[in-house]
């Protein structure tokens, strides 16, 4: 299908966009789900998880950092792209210590939910079993770096919404890791509070509010009841409603 002015097509469906909108935002506004882990409505995109890569004509691009342009013909929900997304998800699992049955985030975890959405039945790759520092110094918040997928969401949430800049990612490649901007490098000596968006935005079990882990029983948690697609569309719609 050939798109008309100010529309793109995704998997053959014509979708309107406004100037400056990314493909991700245009898609979600039209209730077309593009899988994502590091995108969050209202935060500037970082383009680091690569789950949202789509095909535009004969090239690939991350939908969250690519502006919509009239006439783009985009493929999103294809078996090839979803297979690549599943492999990426499997790599994220084995790169960290994502042992779902022993993680209190189970059922509320976007990585786990993405695995379900993409039909991931096994980890496929060998686990790294890496050891990264856990920071339990804060009275109310735990940071377990061994589960961090370096999505950068806490960094952006703290900087853009909380106005605090508590987190940063240091190092590159396999050396990349999350650091805390405080005199000691410990969360206890930062300005972080449980009411910060950064305290609740982590898609996995790397940042947890203490003593809440099992308040909602397993089986009644977010992704026990909804798919990550439904929640992704809902998060976008809620943000748009707030902005009105």
Distance CA 59, CA 88 (A): 19
Of 208, 207, 164, the closest CA to residue 182 belongs to 164
49 is a site residue for ligand FES (CB under 6 A): yes
Distance CA 60, CA 66 (A): 10
Of 85, 86, 115, the closest CA to residue 99 belongs to 115
49 is a site residue for ligand SF4 (CB under 6 A): no
Region of 45-53, 70-78, 125-133, 175-183 interacting with ligand FES (CB under 6 A) = 45-53
Distance in Å, CB of 231 to ligand SF4, minimum: 16
53 is a site residue for ligand SF4 (CB under 6 A): no
37 is a site residue for ligand SF4 (CB under 6 A): no
Structural contact between residues 124 and 164, judged by C-beta atoms closer than 8 angstroms: no
Which of residues 32, 53, 74, 148 is near ligand SF4 by CB under 6 A?
148
Contacts with ligand SF4, 103-132, as mask; x by CB under 6 A: ------------------------------
| Nearer residue to ligand FES within complex by CB, 16 or 41 | 41
Helix (H, G, I), strand (E, B), or coil: what is residue 15? Answer: strand
68 is a site residue for ligand FES (CB under 6 A): no
The alpha carbon torsion through 139, 140, 144, 148 (nearest 10 deg) reads -140
The burial of 94, by beta-carbon neighbours within 10 Å (0-12 exposed, 13-18 middle, 19 or more buried), is given as: middle
Select the binding partner of residue 37 from ligand SF4, ligand FES, none (C-beta < 5 to 8 A, by kind): ligand FES
48 is a site residue for ligand FES (CB under 6 A): yes
Distance CA 62, CA 31 (A): 18
Residues forming contacts to ligand SF4 in the complex (CB under 6 A) are: 148-154, 178, 201-202, 204, 206-207
Residues forming contacts to ligand FES in the complex (CB under 6 A) are: 36-39, 47-52, 62, 64
């Amino acid at each position: 299908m050939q798109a008309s002015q100010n529309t793109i097509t995704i998997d053959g469906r014509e979708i309107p966009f406004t100037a400056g909108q990314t493909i991700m935002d245009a898609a979600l506004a039209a209730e077309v789900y593009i899988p994502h882990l590091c995108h969050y409505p209202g935060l500037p995109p970082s383009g680091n998880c690569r789950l949202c890569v789509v095909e535009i004509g004969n090239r690939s691009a991350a939908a969250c950092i690519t502006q919509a342009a009239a006439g783009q013909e985009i493929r999103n929900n294809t078996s090839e792209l979803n297979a690549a997304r599943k492999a990426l998800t499997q790599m994220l699992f084995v790169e960290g210590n994502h042992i779902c049955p022993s993680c209190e985030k189970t059922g509320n975890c976007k990585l786990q939910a993405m695995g379900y959405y993409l039909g991931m039945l096994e980890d496929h790759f060998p686990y790294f079993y890496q050891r990264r520092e856990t920071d339990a110094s804060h009275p109310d918040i735990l940071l377990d770096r061994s589960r961090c997928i370096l999505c950068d969401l806490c960094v952006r949430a703290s900087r853009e919404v909380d106005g605090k800049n508590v987190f940063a990612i240091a190092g590159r490649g396999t050396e990349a890791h999350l650091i805390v901007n405080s005199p000691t490098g410990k969360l206890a000596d930062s300005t972080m509070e449980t009411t910060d968006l950064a305290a609740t935005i982590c898609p996995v079990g790397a940042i947890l509010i203490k003593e809440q882990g099992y308040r909602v029983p397993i089986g009644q948690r977010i992704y026990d009841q909804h798919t990550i697609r439904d929640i992704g569309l809902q998060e976008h719609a809620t943000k748009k409603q707030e902005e009105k």
